């Protein structure tokens, strides 16, 4: 008996060490990232935005992935956290309250927590469709109120503030983008660590149990409603924190932070990244933010691509990008990746063809539709294209259809090879 406990203690210690090292690595990466940007302001801005979205989508996944609650109104906590932080920022500027700006996110987190407790008290009775509809209703209620209560929400102009005011900590006044980056990075680290630890607590584990089988969880002695409420309040807390970081970063909060687009963003990020994994929302947030910041520089219809990727992910990759990557974990461990890569190479070409075909058709169509009269040459994939002729249409339709047919022909053999190698990798691991 004692050897068993010793063994368990041993294992726990080893896991603890592994995890500790991982978190140290995360901190190092967050700290060193700006060194690689070579002073690029754009890269810093994007990183800050990614940081905010990581917190927001992780908070969202406390509901969807861990608790099984689908929310369409997460913007309430994000936006209210942002608005109240902004009013607090103005109070700091007016010297009514004393608070270093670096600790402002605590205010946002508190607001999110309180709102989460209030709204959660009646909306977490059930998960499922009713929960989703209540969240949508409350989201709409708050979004509509934001245009009525002009004094508080600032109407369409929003509320502005100045983050450089107030008492300084360590002589940092957040006048530069880099200082804001480090503030956001620090909060990302804290929030991610806390949410990870939460998912390992008994309540965090019970959230999974309630998601999978609420009845049995009740028989074990946990109130499903209480467990859901805890997750809900936690999600509100971290969403409010993210909203606060938004207020600090942009020094302006408008009603847009409360609307349906803001509510939809974390859902899209979590589903693309993979709701079933802790790291999924992080990958989704990075992917979505890069898409929205970088892609929007090149094309006006980037939201259409987001929509297409989103729908395709739900249909064909229910575990998200993370699931796709982790599928290959045992194969990489067994060092059999070399066997599967050539097969992937074979199908890559038709997939790229499909991709080019869709993008080409959409872009040419968009250009032909919207360009001023007489303007018929556009630059696409570094080639100038004449949108008035049929040639680009035929070309892109051709590679789309061709790619699709080829991909369909090769897909079974790719799946077969994957299964085979995967089985071997698992079998090899056991021996």
Partner 1 sequence: MIETTIFSLLNGLVYGLLLFMLSSGLTLIFSMMGVLNFAHASFYMLGAYFAYEMSIHIGFWPALILAPIAVGFAGAALERYGLRNVHKYGHVAELVFTFGIAFLIEEVVQFIWGKDQQPYNAPPLLDFPLFTLFNVDFPAYKAFMLFVSIAIFIALLVVLTKTRVGLIIQAAITHPHMVGMLGHNVPLVFMATFGVGTALAGIAGVIAAPVLGTYPGMAFDLGSIIFVVVVFGGLGSLAGAFVASLMIGIVQTFAVSFNIGMPDLLALLGLEFGADHFLVDLWTISLPQIGPLIPYLMLIIMLIFRPLGLFGSREV
Binding site for partner 1 (CB under 8 A): 64, 68, 70, 72, 122-123, 125-126, 128-130, 132-134, 136-138, 140-141, 144-145, 148-152, 260, 264, 267, 271, 301, 303-304, 307-308, 310-311, 314-315, 318, 362, 365-366, 369-370
Nearer to partner 1, 138 or 188 (CB): 138
Q: Shortest Cβ distance from residue 134 to partner 1 (Å)?
A: 6
Q: Shortest Cβ distance from residue 130 to partner 1 (Å)?
A: 6
Distances (CA, A) of 221 to 124, 128, 354: 18, 21, 52
Residue in 320, 318, 312, 345 with CA at minimum distance from that of residue 417: 345
Nearer to partner 1, 249 or 259 (CB): 259
Q: What span, in angstroms and rounded, lies between the C-alpha atoms of 351 and 329?
A: 23
Nearer to partner 1, 26 or 303 (CB): 303
Nearer to partner 1, 23 or 152 (CB): 152
Q: 128-145 and 260-273 helices cross at what angle (nearest 10)?
A: 140
First-to-last alpha carbon distance for the chain, in angstroms, is: 28
Q: Shortest Cβ distance from residue 87 to partner 1 (Å)?
A: 10
Q: 195-222: buried (b, 16+ CB within 10 Å) or exposed (e) per residue? A: bbebbeeeebebbbbbbeebeebeeeeb
Q: Shortest Cβ distance from residue 153 to partner 1 (Å)?
A: 9
Q: Shortest Cβ distance from residue 284 to partner 1 (Å)?
A: 13
Q: Shortest Cβ distance from residue 173 to partner 1 (Å)?
A: 29
Nearer to partner 1, 241 or 253 (CB): 253
Q: What tokens appear for 232 in the block?
A: 């809900």
Nearer to partner 1, 338 or 369 (CB): 369
Asked whether 70 and 214 are in contact (CB, 8 A), the reply is no
User: What is the CA angle 254-257-259, rounded to 5?
Assistant: 110
β 383-386/377-380 pair status: antiparallel
Max Cα separation, the chain?
A: 85
Nearer to partner 1, 315 or 383 (CB): 315
Q: Shortest Cβ distance from residue 419 to partner 1 (Å)?
A: 19
Do you know the residue count of the chain? 431
Look-up: residue for tokens 């608070």? Answer: 99
Q: Which residues pair with 355 in a beta bridge?
A: none
Q: Shortest Cβ distance from residue 64 to partner 1 (Å)?
A: 8
Q: 282-310: buried (b, 16+ CB within 10 Å) or exposed (e) per residue? A: bbbbbbbbebbeeeeeebebbeeebeebb
Asked whether 67 and 132 are in contact (CB, 8 A), the reply is no
Nearer to partner 1, 129 or 297 (CB): 129
């Amino acid at each position: 008996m004692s050897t068993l406990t010793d063994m368990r203690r041993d294992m726990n210690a080893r896991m603890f060490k592994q995890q500790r090292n991982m978190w140290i690595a995360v901190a190092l990466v967050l700290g060193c990232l700006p060194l690689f940007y070579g002073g690029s302001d754009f890269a810093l801005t994007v990183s800050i935005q990614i940081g905010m979205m990581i917190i927001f989508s992780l908070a969202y996944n406390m509901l969807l992935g861990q608790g099984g609650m689908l929310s369409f109104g997460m913007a309430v906590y994000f936006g209210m956290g942002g608005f109240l932080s902004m009013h607090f920022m103005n109070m700091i500027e007016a010297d009514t309250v004393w608070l270093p700006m670096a600790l402002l996110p605590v205010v946002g987190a508190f607001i999110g927590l309180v709102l989460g407790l209030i709204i959660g008290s009646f909306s977490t009775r059930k998960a499922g469709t009713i929960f989703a509809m209540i969240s949508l209703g409350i989201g709409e209620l708050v979004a509509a109120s934001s245009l009525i209560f002009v004094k508080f929400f600032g109407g369409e102009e929003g509320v502005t503030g100045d983050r450089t005011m107030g008492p300084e900590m360590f002589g940092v006044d957040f006048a530069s983008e880099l200082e804001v980056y480090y503030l956001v990075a620090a909060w990302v680290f804290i929030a991610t660590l806390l949410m990870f630890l939460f998912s390992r607590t008994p309540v965090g584990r019970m959230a999974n149990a309630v998601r999978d089988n609420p009845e049995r969880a009740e028989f074990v002695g946990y109130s499903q409603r209480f467990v859901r409420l805890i997750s809900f309040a936690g999600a509100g807390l971290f969403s409010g924190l993210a909203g606060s970081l938004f207020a600090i970063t942009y020094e302006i909060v408008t009603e847009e932070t409360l609307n349906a687009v803001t509510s939809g963003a974390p859902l899209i990020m979590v589903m693309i990244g993979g709701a079933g994994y802790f790291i999924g929302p992080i990958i989704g947030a990075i992917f979505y933010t890069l898409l929205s910041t970088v892609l929007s520089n090149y094309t006006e219809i980037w939201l259409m691509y987001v929509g297409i990727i989103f729908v395709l992910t739900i249909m064909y990759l229910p575990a998200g990008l993370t699931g796709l990557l982790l599928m290959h974990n045992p194969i990489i461990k067994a060092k059999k990746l070399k066997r599967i890569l050539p097969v992937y190479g074979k199908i890559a070409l038709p997939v790229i063809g499909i991709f080019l075909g869709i993008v080409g058709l959409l872009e040419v169509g968009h250009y032909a539709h919207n360009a001023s009269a007489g303007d018929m040459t556009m630059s696409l994939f570094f080639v100038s294209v004449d949108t008035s002729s049929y040639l680009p249409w035929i070309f892109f339709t051709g590679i789309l259809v061709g790619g699709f047919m080829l991909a369909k022909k090769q897909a079974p053999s790719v799946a077969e090879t994957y299964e085979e190698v995967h089985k071997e990798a698992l079998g090899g691991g056991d021996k």
